[in-house]
Amino acid sequence: MARYVRLVAASVGLTALAIACLHIGDPESPGSWTTEDATKFEGFSLYWLGESYRGLPLTSIWRLEPSVAGSPDDAVRFNYGTCSPEDRPLGGDCAYPLSVKVEPCGKAAVRLSGSSTSTRIRGAPAFGYHASEVLIWSRDVTITVTVSDPLYRANAPAEQLRLVSEGPEGAAKPLQGPEPTCLPQGSQWPITR
């Protein structure tokens, strides 16, 4: 009987953990922002794709801080499209069809691999991973554009990034180059100024 009680308790604990993981991607999670919050933010430059991108509405804005949900991040993430627990039957964070994560320079982890390519997005240095992710260095930030929908490639939305303070015309302007200390350092880094 005691063994059965321990088994049930362990099962309940794992179920609760799985349910908690399913709600990590909840737009009502701690750190949720409005577009007004993003517009007023002065911590670092913020880039986004506007209220929608090719039919995908902006569904949530998250302010990720070290004090929020144990996150080591200092970032703002704009999520486009919908995400539901059904998207991840085994639990974990939902994969939005498109997200733009903006973080201060030096915070983004650069994962160099043989399948990565250096490029430029509207004049700013960038680094692509397959078709699903691209990192861009502009001003005082690193911008990570990630797509989970196979119908999209990360470079296409990256070409439309603009400052939160700019209207749609901002997507036609060149991206400002990064501050001198913004680019990752080291001999492996393939992009030069």
- pLDDT by residue (tens digit) across 118-168? 888 999 988 887 788 999 999 999 999 999 877 778 889 999 999 999 999
If you count DSSP H runs as helices and E runs as strands, how many of each does the chain have, helices first? 3, 11
Identity of the residue numbered 108: A
Low-confidence ranges of the chain (pLDDT < 50): 1-28, 30, 187-193
How confident is the model at residue 180, as a pLDDT?
80
How confident is the model at residue 18, as a pLDDT?
31
Identity of the residue numbered 92: G
DSSP string covering 17-77? HHHHHHTTT-TTSTTEE-HHHHHH--SS--EE--SEETTEEEEEEEEE-TTSTT----EEE
Provide the whole-model pTM: 0.74
Centre a 10 Å sphere on the Cβ of residue 75 and count the other Cβ atoms it contains: 23
Instruction: Quickly tell me which residue has 């005691």 as its tokens.
Output: 2
The span from the CA of 86 to the CA of 64, in Å, is 24
Residue 38 has phi, psi (to 5 degrees) of -65, -40
How confident is the model at residue 173, as a pLDDT?
93
Residue 133 has phi, psi (to 5 degrees) of -150, 140
Centre a 10 Å sphere on the Cβ of residue 91 and count the other Cβ atoms it contains: 15
How confident is the model at residue 9, as a pLDDT?
38
